[in-house]
């Protein structure tokens, strides 16, 4: 069995990266937590497929998302769970930092690529990539529509402008934007639902009994797959990382589409 890591292609500058890929924003979600047991202030990096209930879209904790105490966080989790149940949704466990739908995409150029590296937490893909992944591996991924918010008029293959602030993320504020985005996209956020077992050296050293935060020794963790790590899934996160791994079947299916703005990194062949 062979596995591949889905990765962005090499980019010659941060300006080019921002110009081509833009950024994906989730305005609503749970805040981080300040845990009195382990002393950590933290929030995770998970995006959930649920729409933020309308009743919570003006709640400061779901907008500002500044860390709160563990007790306050538990109350917010109960509030969110109750609101989702009213909308006929249910979910087993929330974590500090969980983000909710909807999501909004800003790209300083005219996006035409199959993959946009607008988020470190998820994949942003074109309709044909979404159809392939969801149609063939519906248990491994969930696709959420992306709202196109600010989209530039210029082609992505042109040289990126340098904003007056010198900051790549500010390009979007100084380029001409499309008045009508209906001809663009559509794009979708792909949320990976599965995860491998822990990589070599990556088993948590401790896990806080209060907030559930695992402590990983990054100096011993190896970024690779082994036969023991595989749980039989075709699309999954490499545990303790944000690396999206796919099986050879997924790689071959995507390769027939000749997808743009993506590269597949060989993770090696797993031999039991």
pLDDT at 85: 86
Range of the domain at 65: 33-99
Span 15-61, pLDDT tens digits: 999 999 999 999 999 999 999 999 999 999 899 999 999 999 999 99
Residue 266 lies inside a defined structural domain of this protein: no
| pLDDT, tens digit, 9 for 90 and up, residues 62-86 | 999 999 999 999 999 999 999 998 7
What's the pLDDT score for residue 268? 83
Q: Is residue 240 a part of any domain in this protein? A: no
In this prediction the pTM is 0.94
- Contact at 8 Å (CB) between 208 and 38? yes
Classify residue 84: in a domain, yes or no. yes
Instruction: Tell whether 85 is covered by a domain.
Output: yes
Strand partners, 126: 187
Is 94 within a domain?
yes
Alpha helices in 64-112 (DSSP H): 70-86
255 sits in which H/E element: helix 248-255
In a domain, 48, yes or no: yes
Residue pair 100/56 in contact (Cβ under 8 Å)? The answer is no
State the pLDDT at residue 91.
Answer: 67
Task: Judge whether 150 and 160 are in contact, CB under 8 Å.
Answer: no
The Cα-based distances of 150 to 113, 191, 192, 257 in angstroms read 16, 22, 26, 28
Q: Does 202 map to a domain? A: no
d(CA 235, CA 136): 11
Q: How far is CA 252 from the centre of its chain?
A: 23
Note the pLDDT of residue 202. 94
Residue 89: band (very low, low, confident or very high) from pLDDT cuts 50, 70, 90: low
Q: Which residues lie below 8 Å from residue 259, measured CB to CB, with a gap of 6+?
A: 114, 115, 129
In a domain, 185, yes or no: no
Question: How many domains does the chain contain in total?
Answer: 1
């Amino acid at each position: 069995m062979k596995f591949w890591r889905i990765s962005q292609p090499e980019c010659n500058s941060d300006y080019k990266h921002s110009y081509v890929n833009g950024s994906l924003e989730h305005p609503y979600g749970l805040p981080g937590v300040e845990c009195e047991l382990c002393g950590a202030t933290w929030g995770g990096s998970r995006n959930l497929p649920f729409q933020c209930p309308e009743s919570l879209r003006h709640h400061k904790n779901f907008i500002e998302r500044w860390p709160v105490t563990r007790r306050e966080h538990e109350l917010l989790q109960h509030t969110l769970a109750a609101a989702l149940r009213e909308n006929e949704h249910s979910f087993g466990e929330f974590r500090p930092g969980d983000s909710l739908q909807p999501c909004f995409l800003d790209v300083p150029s005219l996006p035409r690529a199959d993959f946009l590296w607008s988020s470190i937490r998820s994949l942003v893909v074109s309709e044909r990539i979404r159809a392939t992944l969801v149609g063939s591996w519906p248990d491994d991924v969930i696709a959420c529509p992306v709202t196109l918010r600010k989209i530039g008029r210029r082609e992505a293959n042109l040289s990126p402008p340098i904003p007056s602030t010198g900051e790549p993320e500010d390009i979007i504020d100084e380029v001409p934007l499309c008045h009508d985005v209906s001809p663009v996209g559509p794009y979708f956020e792909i949320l990976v639902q599965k995860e491998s077992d822990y990589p070599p050296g990556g088993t948590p050293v401790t896990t806080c009994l209060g907030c559930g935060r695992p402590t990983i020794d990054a100096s011993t963790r190896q970024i690779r797959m082994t036969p023991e790590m595989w749980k039989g899934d075709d699309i999954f996160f490499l545990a303790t990382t944000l690396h999206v791994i796919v099986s050879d079947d997924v790689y071959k299916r995507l390769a027939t589409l000749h997808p743009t703005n993506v590269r597949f990194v060989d993770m090696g062949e797993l031999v039991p």
